[in-house]
Amino acid sequence: MGASLKDVAARAGVSVRTVSNVVNDFPLVAPETRRRVQIALEELRYRPNVAARRLRAGRSGLIGLVIPEIDSPYFGELASLLVQAAQEHGWTLLVDQTNGDPEHERRLLEGMPGQLVDGLIMSPWGLSPVDLRRNADAVPLVLLGEQDAAGLIDHVSVNSVLAAAEATAHLIGLGRRRIAAIGVQPHLANGTAEQRLTGYRQALRAAGIPHDPALEVPVTTLHRDEGARAMRRLLDGDRVPDAVFCFSDQLALGALRAALEHGLSVPRDLAVCGFDDIEDGRYATPSLTTVAPDKAEIARQALVCLADRLEARRSAHGSVDLDDAGMVARVEGSSPSTRRIVASHRLVVRESTAGRARKSTGNHPAGSDFAILTRRIVRWSKRSSSEEQANTWPVTGPQ
């Protein structure tokens, strides 16, 4: 066991308070006294108890990050950016994965506060809004992704409805009319898949393209193997698509592989668009057109929200009570108004829809269907004043 302040004080012949003043570099210590204390610190190899110091200041320096899949390229890239953002705030990130299991997510949401984390950043897949609302005050919390808690918890996301509509409008602008959607997850309500399906359907309706349930393929996960399986199912059906919008890049990469194995030319026979802009998609052959959420902005905004909430708690009362075991028993403070932050996104056009000759980063002829549909989407979304309106922008054509 390391030396304590009391041990150093005894060696230097001073009080414990004097040793503390030297350790914390307070100026009101006589030079000779400071020298004796510093010698004693070196002789006893004293190391400050950073954890105890942080607890006295009302913080542990630890942030919990709960994500569905650590091995998912999207969440891996996002976690890396969150680690960098956390370091800028002086925090260390503790990462756990849930695989979308609601019980696991619930245990972490309820149990993380007892593990001395200052706050929690969570991307839930299986939790219901009721679960989230029930634990809204358990620990300072920021949600990522599409699942929210009706404004009771800080939330950082992208507008998946708008982004999916833009991706589908891009395919329509290329002259495609049999556009499939891979990634439907009817067992997960109010989540990523549901919002992207909404955007896909609304873009088709805006273009007057009839809804065809046979072109909407369900999956159990958003992984490559599911994308390949779904693509094979479409190619074996009666309504072979001329384009496919996949709700993740992993699904799109699987669909791309299955299409090429089937002998199709991409994008001549089949245009493929994904969502997430993972690194693998940039180096696929052909390279993958995708929706690119600003992951760096998501990470930065999540940490800003958490830092602001913690600072508000500390500045209100600055009171942290520890129990007999040294665990945080109670933290007093006020809660600022919750925030809903929508990070930016962009459509990155690559070879899987535009081909090598027309590869671009999202530029389309001003008179194209894509430009017309996109202008309609953007104009309406700017007029929207609520989440519900943003998810139901006006459409034209057959209903």
Strands (E), the chain: 62-67, 92-97, 119-122, 141-144, 154-158, 179-184, 216-218, 243-246, 271-275, 289-293, 320-322, 328-331, 340-343, 345-348
Is pLDDT larger for residue 16 or for residue 52? Answer: 16
pLDDT on residue 347: 97
- Distance separating alpha carbons of residues 148 and 12, to the nearest angstrom: 57
Q: What is the mean pLDDT of residues 256-279?
A: 97
Which residues of the chain are in CATH 1.10.260.40 domains? 5-48
Least confident of 101-110, 215-224, 233-242, 380-389: 380-389
pLDDT on residue 101: 85
Q: Are 396 and 203 in contact (CB under 8 A)?
A: no
Give the three-class secondary structure for 279. Answer: helix
Angle of helix 73-88 relative to helix 249-261, nearest 10 degrees? 150
Is pLDDT larger for residue 56 or for residue 375? Answer: 375
pLDDT on residue 388: 38
Q: What is the pTM of this model?
A: 0.75
Residue with tokens 């004097």: 18
Angle of helix 295-316 relative to helix 73-88, nearest 10 degrees? 40
Using pLDDT thresholds of 50, 70 and 90, give the confidence band for residue 287: very high
pLDDT on residue 398: 28
Q: What is the mean pLDDT of residues 61-86?
A: 93
Amino acid at 296: A
- Distance separating alpha carbons of residues 292 and 375, to the nearest angstrom: 19
**pLDDT tens sequence across 372-381:** 666 665 555 4
Topology given in CATH for the domain delimited by 5-48: 434 Repressor (Amino-terminal Domain) (1.10.260)
Topology given in CATH for the domain delimited by 60-157+295-317+338-342: Rossmann fold (3.40.50)
- Distance separating alpha carbons of residues 288 and 290, to the nearest angstrom: 6
Of 78, 70, 59, the C-alpha closest to 95 is 70
Q: What is the mean pLDDT of residues 108-126?
A: 77
Q: What is the mean pLDDT of residues 314-327?
A: 46
Q: What is the mean pLDDT of residues 368-394?
A: 48
Exposure of 81 in the CB half-sphere (CA atoms within 13 A)? 17
Of 248, 300, 235, 239, the C-alpha closest to 87 is 300
| Close Cβ partners of 246 (under 8 Å, ≥ 6 residues apart) | 181, 182, 183, 227, 252, 255, 272, 273, 274, 275
CATH code linked to domain 160-293+344-354: 3.40.50.2300
Per-chain mean pLDDT for the chain: 81
Q: What is the mean pLDDT of residues 279-294?
A: 97
Which residues of the chain are in CATH 3.40.50.2300 domains? 60-157+295-317+338-342, 160-293+344-354
**pLDDT tens sequence across 20-52:** 888 877 777 899 999 999 999 988 888 776 555
At 144, give phi and psi (nearest 5°): -115, 150
pLDDT on residue 179: 98
Is pLDDT larger for residue 337 or for residue 51? Answer: 337
Respond yes or no on whether the N-terminal peptide bond of residue 102 is cis (omega within 30° of 0). no
Q: Is the pLDDT of residue 17 over 50?
A: yes
Question: Which of the given ranges, 106-115, 165-174, 180-189, 377-386, has the highest pLDDT on average?
Answer: 165-174
**pLDDT tens sequence across 203-212:** 999 999 999 9
Least confident of 44-48, 296-300, 340-344: 44-48
